[in-house]
Structure 1
Amino acid sequence: RKARLALDMATQDRQRLEGLLSLEAIPERRVMEARNQEAAARAQLDAASKRISPYQGAKGGIALRSPISGQIAAVNSGPGAAISQGQALFHVANLSKLWLEAQIPEALVGRITKPSGAWFIADGHDHAEVIEEGNAGRLVAFGGVVDKESRTVPALFEFDNAEGRFRIGMFAQARVFTGTGEEVPAVPASAVFDDNGASVVFVQTGGESFERRPVVLGVREGNHYAVKAGLTPGERVVSKGAYQVKLAASAPASLSHGHAH
């Protein structure tokens, strides 16, 4: 735009001087100088046009090319707005892989040598996401400096987000795996009820008969709890509709018959 304005001004000046020359009001040298200035301005406009031609869009705009693939997460400008060199116009994010930043309290850092994975439940989501080394997830870094404000150390995990369920900046409740795994019975979190402070599940004893069974829970991993005591491998627990079974088991008829329908 600056080069085009300079050419327009040079053209107008040349035309004005040619009119004065026709009236013999100025020497011819002035007109020759104006023609040279007009030619120089036209050359500058041609050079500027060639510089921007590779970036011209179909509608005459300038195409901005992102150095990464992804989607536009934020727009920091608008049509017709003035911009300056170095100004951020767009925020492009690749959401196919995200990082979970788990803040580990200072008091617990000494128990952890190298986190082997994590699981988290993001705000607005009901189910947990599990991050395991070698299974579409990895530990990126385990911080070596305690934050002076929060007194925590960050552990960064990368995980797949191919379905786009999570967004950058979301908050989540997270748990970090700190040791080697062990084989123990596990039940879905939906099968466990808090009954006056006791963890309870309903075990199928046969047909439509179920038994209320207190259990001792271990750690939670994603959507499952480890069971330290109260269950043996192979026993079947109610995971869907367990609340209805609990209500039926509390009815007088079920108490007299010892089972729920």
Structure 2
Amino acid sequence: MKTRIPLGMAAVMGLALLLVGCGKGEHVENAPRGGHKEQAGEAGHEGHAGEAGHEGEEEGGDHVALSPEAAAEAKLEIGSPGPGKIEISLELPGEVIADPDQVAHITPKAAGTAREVKAVLGSRVKAGEVLAVIESPELGEAKIGYLEALRARDLASFDHDRQSTVSGNTKTMLGVLAKEPSPEAAREETAGLAIGEDKGRLLTAYSNHRLAKRNRDREEDLFRRKINSEAELLTARNAFDAAAAEYASVRESVEFAHVARLLDAQRALRAAEANLQNRERRLHLLGVAESEVEGLGKEPDDRIAWYSLRSPIEGIVVEKHCVLGESVDTSTRVFVVTDLSRVQVRFQVPPADLPRVRPGQKVRVRVDGLDASGEGRVDYLSPVAEERTRMAEGRVFLPNPDGKWRPGLFGAVRIVLEEAEAKAALPAEAVFRHEGREVVFVEEEERKYEPRPVRIGRRDPATVEVLEGVKPGDKVVVKNGFVLKAELGKEAGGHDH
């Protein structure tokens, strides 16, 4: 309210002030009393009004009343102070990075030329998926060597199988002859056994041996009956001994020969298989997958030198340094694939805080400006301080199934050092700043709310400890109180106006 002073009175007051400035007190004493009282009265009124307004504010004189429609739209939630836990924490800046253990730098195994480029920047690939196809003369020679070794192995395997069959048949035939059947029966029993030219030698020697034995037995019988001479008997015996020796020699030769040939075939097969394995290992070193090795013989001749460059992990192509027709070598980082299903957040711990931080502590991470928050635990705290900053690096892993944590983002890392018990706690969003004080809105009557000053103790981003101002049982607005704060601001603005 503005007080208007009459023009004449203003002149008198000005003269009085001038006289006071000149040191003539009588002019102050003779000053009009009415004017002095009026000013005093007005000043006193203004001072009293100010005190009354301040006192009313301390007592919660400001209120916000909502209409039924506004109350329904505001969707206020009411709660009451009660026991709770306050997280005592340390907040540090952090940076989101890709997990180094889930990053693949893909380089060619053999120098060559890019003939096909399938992957594009930002595409998601699976483990084993083809990213590019490279033509390499070195690989072509390796494939040809493998195919030659494959054919040699197949021949050695065939020879080994044949020698195994011959060896088995030879053992069977020797077993038949050991029973000393007649030559005719022996030929009949071994008719289906294939052992090569040794079969004829063995049967001939066996037949001669059996014939010589029969002649010797006949001559001995005739000699006992004195029908033949001793010379004829000796001749028959000598013939038998010679035939027996020949049969034994042939039998022994055949027996040792089939064993030796089988051993030679086994050694040749092992050597061929070893050579083939070495050739295959060479292909793997040059980037040829197992599935591709199996189909080498079916490749067109003009693609014998081509091989596929594959991703070793599932992830996203974050770097691509290859175009069609470009020459690449074993030092070229053609692609970088990163699995972002889990990321790492790095932070630096100052020396003063190092005694309070340890692996295993709960960590909450948020990125301002993004709807991104996560929780993990301190996975690692470096035992060595960084030389330049004298800080120790820590890290926490966060799951990232939807990809919201992008490497390169900066955020806040809040390490929970301990959890303290609070006798009276409220959600942090229930507390507002009003006229330089912290207040909560208390429902005094239906749809009528008082901004009540409170004294806050410990706090964390979600919960505050209330020391004074409200008590258990008070109906405190714990959600959407910003609606009341806005209404309170409107009323204050209208009063000032």
Shared fold per TM-score greater than 0.5: yes
Partners of 1:125 and 1:70 lie apart in 2 by 23
Shift of 1:232: 5.1
Structure 2: distance between partners of 1:111 and 1:45: 59
Out of 458, 465, 472, the residue aligned to residue 218 of structure 1 is 458
Whether the aligned pair in 2 keeps the contact of 1:117 and 1:139 (CA below 8 Å) is yes
The aligned counterpart of 1:175 is 414
Q: Which runs of 5+ in 2 are unaligned?
A: 1-110, 113-139, 148-282, 296-302
**Aligned counterpart for 1:187 among listed residues 424, 427, 437:** 427
Q: Distance in 2 between matches of 1:178 and 1:118?
A: 9
1:77 aligns to what? 322
Amino acid at match of 1:237: V
Aligned pairs for 1:50-129 within 5 A: 54=292, 62-114=307-359, 116-126=361-371, 128-129=373-374
Closer, same or farther: CA 116–44 of 1 in aligned 2, 3 Å: closer
Shift of 1:182: 3.6
Native 8 Å contact 1:118 1:176 kept in 2: yes
SS at structure 1 position matched to 2:441: strand
Q: Which secondary structure does the structure 2 equivalent of 1:249 belong to?
A: helix
Q: Secondary structure at the match of 1:79?
A: coil
CA distance in 2, matches of 1:152, 1:142: 11
Percent identity of equivalent pairs: 22
**Bigger CA drift: 224-233 or 174-183?**
224-233
Judged with a 3 Å threshold, the aligned counterparts in structure 2 of structure 1 residues 99 and 46 are, in CA distance, closer, same or farther, namely closer
Aligned residue in 2 for 1:207:
446
Distance 1:192 1:63 in 2: 62
Whole-Å Cα distance in 2 between the matches of residues 79 and 200 of structure 1?
67
Alignment deviations for residues 63-90 of structure 1 (CA, whole Å, 9 cap, x no partner): 3322222222222333333222032222
- RMSD across aligned positions (CA): 3.8
One-letter amino acid of the structure 1 residue matched with residue 316 of structure 2: Q
Number of aligned residue pairs: 204
Task: Give 1:229 shift.
Answer: 2.6
Taking structure 1 as the reference length, what is the TM-score of the superposition? 0.61
Any conservation in 1 of the 2:361–2:378 contact (CA below 8 Å)? Answer: yes
CA contact (8 A) 2:358 2:378 kept: no
- In the TM superposition, what are the counterparts of 1:216-255 in structure 2 within 5 Å? 216=456, 218-221=458-461, 224-230=462-468, 235-240=475-480, 242-252=481-491
Q: 2:322 is paired with a residue of what secondary structure?
A: coil
1:111, 1:46 → 2: CA distance? Answer: 60
Show CA shifts across 1:127-178 (max 9, x none): 543x2xxxxx333211212212233222211121122211122111221111
Q: What is the CA–CA distance in structure 2 between the aligned matches of 1:201 and 1:115, rounded to whole Å?
A: 36
Conservation of the 8 A alpha-carbon contact between 2:372 and 2:404: no
In structure 1, what is the Cα distance between the partners aligned to 2:141 and 2:360? 61
Which whole-Å deviations, capped at 9, do the CAs of 1:50-73 have from their partners, x for residues lacking one? Answer: 7559299xxx87533222222222
Distance in 2 (CA, whole Å) between partners of 1:198 and 1:48 is 85
Superposition deviation, residue 246 in structure 1: 0.8
> Which among 400, 408, 424 is matched to residue 161 of structure 1?
400
Counterpart of 2:88?
none
- The CA distance in 2 between the partners of 1:197 and 1:80, in whole Å, is 69
| Distance apart, 1:248 and its partner CA | 1.3
Q: Report the alpha carbon displacement of residue 115 of structure 1 after superposing the two structures with TM.
A: 5.3
Aligned to 2:214: none
Report what 2:144 is aligned to: 47
1:111, CA displacement in angstroms? 2.8
Larger radius of gyration: 2
Deviation larger for 100-109 or 77-86: 77-86
Contact 1:115 1:179 in 2 (8 A): no
Q: 1-side partners of 2:442 and 2:372: how far apart?
A: 23
Residues 227/249 of structure 1: CA separation in 2 closer, same or farther (3 Å cut)? same
Residue identity opposite 2:332 in structure 1: Q
Amino acid at match of 1:179: E
Q: C-alpha deviations, 1:192-217, integer Å up to 9, x for none?
A: 43345544333444532223243415
- Alpha-carbon distance, 1:121 to partner: 1.8
Contact map agreement 2:358 2:381 (CA 8 A) in 1: no
Tell me which of the two structures has the higher relative contact order, counting C-alpha pairs closer than 8 angstroms and 6 or more residues apart: 2
The answer on whether the counterparts of 1:203 and 1:238 sit within 8 Å (CA) in structure 2 is no
CA contact (8 A) 2:359 2:377 kept: no
Contact conserved, 2:359 with 2:379, CA < 8 A, in 1?
no
46 and 140 in structure 1: CA distance in 2 versus 1, 3 angstrom threshold: closer
**Paired AA for residue 47 in structure 1:** I
CA contact (8 A) 1:123 1:170 kept: no
Residue 48 of structure 2 corresponds to none
